[in-house]
A and B are shown apart, each in its own frame.
Chain A
Amino acid sequence: MGEPATFSVLVEVRLRPGISDPQGATIERALPALGLGGVAGVRAGKSFRFEIEAPDEAAALERSTVVADRVLANPVIEESTVTVTVTPAGA
């Protein structure tokens, strides 16, 4: 196990399938008025980026998933995807 490294994290939060999405529905309804028809299935969500220090990528993913599940998403109505990448040295 090496020195702790810094990892870049992207957490995407979206409503669970089946949960109504008034924001997505409103956007979808507005698109034809702008001449942008043919767009369906719009779902609005949120994304969060942060950096985290961890011994390795697996640990970074594990801790970031806790952040996503406990704080960033409300598991009653939302689900999240966590993506971890190594921050290039000197970045």
Chain B
Amino acid sequence: MPARVGVVVFPGTNCEHDAVHAIEALGAGADLVWHGDTSVGEYDALIIPGGFAHGDYLRPGAIARFSPVMAAVGAFADGGGPVVGICNGFQVLTEAGLLPGALQKNQGLRFLCTTVDIRVESDRSVLTAGVSPGTVLSVPINHFEGNYTCDPTTLKILQDEDRVVLRYVDNPNGSVDDIAGVCSAGRNVVGLMPHPERASDPLLGSADGVVLLEALLGSALASAGARVA
């Protein structure tokens, strides 16, 4: 059976249909999950897509953390379920404490809407499993607050535990250690600023995001099997 992915929607989320389309194009199933729901159903993986959850008021992700669905997302992650936060979803996951660090305003205060090269640094995460480290992917970014920051102790832990899963080839936003994406200690929660769902078809200018989405779907089925067993 193909994997089934829940795509969480907050008021102000705007990349949910891109995510659903990209997942369905790969032959898997995807449903939208409203932020007011207190359950994430029987999904094999969750995506927190990009946008401006709750208007990004206070700080990106700061209010979304208190949405009813987030307790269920946290429980799903605690149970080993794959959770991927893209762009604003990454910000939500850091604010919710499911990933370390924070995303600050870009160095130079520029809103960045462009395509960048990112390098897969670790294949030990639900989003990069089976993708050779060193693989360079051309994937769009679209953010004002993508400047990844954490304290030196946290950075050392991320480096030592091989949890920096993606780095920018040419750092666009000032992120510490060129970090474009990190994973949790359990390696099942991943946050990244680039948008793989927007690089899911040659018609979009790049299909390089497909390897990441396929990796996620593979991880979803493996994880679902493990949780049933």
B95 at the interface (CB under 8 A from A): yes
What is the CB-to-nearest-CB distance from A18 to chain B, in angstroms, rounded to a whole number?
A: 9
Give 6 pairs: A residue, B residue, CB < 8 Å, sorted on A: A19-B104, A22-B105, A22-B106, A26-B109, A72-B58, A76-B94
Contact partner of A74 (CB less than 8 A), chosen from B102, B105, B108, is B102
Cβ proximity bits A15-41 to B, threshold 8 Å, 1 near / 0 not: 000011011001000000000000000
Q: Which residues of B contact A23 (CB under 8 A)?
A: 105, 109
| Interface of chain B: mostly helix, strand, loop or mixed | loop
Q: What 5 A-B pairs have minimum CB-CB distances, sorted nearest first? A: A76-B102, A77-B102, A22-B109, A22-B105, A26-B109
CA distance A22 to B149 in the complex (A): 13
B59 at the interface (CB under 8 A from A): yes
What is the CB-to-nearest-CB distance from A69 to chain B, in angstroms, rounded to a whole number?
A: 13
Q: Which residues of A contact B101 (CB under 8 A)?
A: 76
State the interface size on chain A (CB cutoff 8 A): 10
Given A20-B147, A77-B102, 10 more pairs with CB closer than 8 A: A19-B149, A20-B104, A20-B107, A20-B149, A22-B106, A26-B109, A71-B62, A76-B150, A77-B104, A77-B149
Q: Which residues of B contact A76 (CB under 8 A)?
A: 94, 100-102, 149-151
Residues in A lying within 8 Å of B, measured CB to CB: 19-20, 22-23, 26, 71-72, 74, 76-77
Q: Which residues of B contact A22 (CB under 8 A)?
A: 104-109, 147, 174
Cβ proximity bits B101-137 to A, threshold 8 Å, 1 near / 0 not: 1101111110000000000000000000000000000
> Which residue on chain B has the smallest CB distance to residue A19?
B149
Q: Which residues of B contact A20 (CB under 8 A)?
A: 104, 107, 147, 149, 174
